Amino acid sequence: MAPLPAGAPVGVYIHIPFCGHICPYCDFNTYANMEPLIPAYVDAVCTDIARFPGRFGSMPAATIFFGGGTPSLVPAEGIARMIDAVRNSFDLAAGAEITLEANPNRLDQRYCTGLLDAGVNRLSLGAQTFDRRGLRTLGRQHEAEDVVTAIVAARAAGFANVSCDLIFGWPGQAMDVWRNDLDRVLALDAGVDHLSLYSLIIEPGTPMAEAVARGILVPLSDDEAADCYEIAVEVLGKAGWIHYEIANWAKSAAYQSRHNMLYWRNGEYAGFGAGAHWRIGDRRRMNHLLPRTYVDAVEGGEDSASNSEEVSDRLSISETMMLGLRLLREGVTEASFQVRHSASLAESFPRQLDALAAHGLIDWDGERVLLTHRGSMLANDVCSQFFDEQ
């Protein structure tokens, strides 16, 4: 239940900042043509993880998540070494969820078997769309068939938990193309267990933003993107999928992303690798962004973080609402809130709860706060209310 109590097992995030090329819409901390650095980077991440208990002791951990970038660029032996480093430094739960994000390019059965042997038990595939024009607009280097082949390879290797990312709202996307993406992913013979559906955000400074500014690409309007979201809610609802978080659906409750649930429940997490964040206790830290700087800092025995800040009680309370309300079925419960924050929801938000309920944006019965469907369409606006002064 959201939020998690203080001291609950942490999630471990490991950032892999390498990509074969940079997609024009991407503003993640990722770099092309840096693959020669991968061996030194894996060494540095392992060293950084090994230093962790010296600071915090051996904390219990529930999940590991390799995100990127393209973690599947790292050989399976490197992934195994990083997982072993986590096992040596954390009290990793038996049956811990260990996820790796992968691009469909060149994801073959042999590599998948290596990942399973390393301990990875959940794959998250960046499919984005099955539409060829969409793949080119998004600058992706794979074809729709590669997604199918990758999922077949993952299943043949033995992966029992496969997630797939799709993007909607890309320039030129028609509603029937989006419907086709959803129908196609649901009809896959090898099947997927979890779907993350992201609305394309055209971030300033990206090549795609420049193409939009020059009139080369025309983005979908907010209303059109909202229509895409409604289509997803309808199609996946009819197919019996659980819409458990604003952008995430699971085939059954067992397939909800445990690592991301930990974030949405405002849990603690340790982050390793370039640009990774930590949140332990009342401190939040961010590692050096540049892979070479991160590697040099760790090799030189220096702090891997470039920034650190205190998270005040008030900010933590606001973040509990911003994150927890994304959980559409769970929301934020009064009981969990009191255990975590030693205050009641009504005392903490005397104005916001009644006002948002009166506008039909949340359901608030004194025991639990949930976004309404309308509230979920305006989630950013609703959540921002909890950062205002009372």
Task: Enumerate binding residues for ligand SF4 (CB under 6 A).
Answer: 19, 22-23, 26, 28, 30, 68-70, 103, 126
Distance CA 36, CA 339 (A): 48
Distance CA 174, CA 168 (A): 10
Q: Which of residues 294 and 349 has its CB atom nearest to ligand SF4 in the complex?
A: 294
Q: Which is nearer to ligand SF4, 3 or 67 (CB)?
A: 67
Choice between 70 and 287, CB closer to ligand SF4: 70
Residue with Cβ nearer ligand SF4 (19 or 236): 19
Nearest distance from C-beta of residue 56 to ligand SF4, angstroms: 29
Q: How far is the CB of 136 from ligand SF4 (least distance, A)?
A: 13
To the nearest whole angstrom, how small is the minimum distance from the Cβ of residue 70 to ligand SF4?
5
Q: How far is the CB of 203 from ligand SF4 (least distance, A)?
A: 11
Amino acid letter, residue 84: D
| Whole-angstrom Cα Rg for the chain | 21
Residue 327, classed as helix, strand or coil, is: strand
Closest distance of CB 244 from ligand SF4, Å: 24
Residue among 131, 248, 147 at smallest CA distance from 188? 147
Closer residue to ligand SF4, CB minimum distance, 208 or 286: 208
C-alpha distances in Å from residue 225, one per residue of 220, 229, 245 = 6, 6, 17
Minimal distance, residue 73 CB to ligand SF4, in Å: 9
Of 96 and 138, the one with the shorter C-beta distance to ligand SF4 is 138
Q: Which is nearer to ligand SF4, 14 or 382 (CB)?
A: 14
Closest by CA to 196, choosing from 153, 243, 149, 138, is 243
From residue 95, give the alpha-carbon distance in Å to each of 2, 81, 119, 213, 298: 22, 18, 10, 48, 30
Nearer to ligand SF4, 15 or 341 (CB): 15
C-beta of 354: minimal distance to ligand SF4 in Å? 41
DSSP string, 84-120: HHHHHHSEEEEEEEEEEEE-STT--HHHHHHHHHHT-
Beta-bridge partner residues of 124? 101, 163
Smallest distance, Å, CB 19 to ligand SF4? Answer: 3
Question: Do residues 43 and 31 touch, judged by C-beta distance below 8 A?
Answer: no
Backbone φ and ψ of 381, nearest 5°? -65, -45
| CA gap 134, 182 in Å, rounded | 14
Amino acid, single-letter form, for residue 54:
G
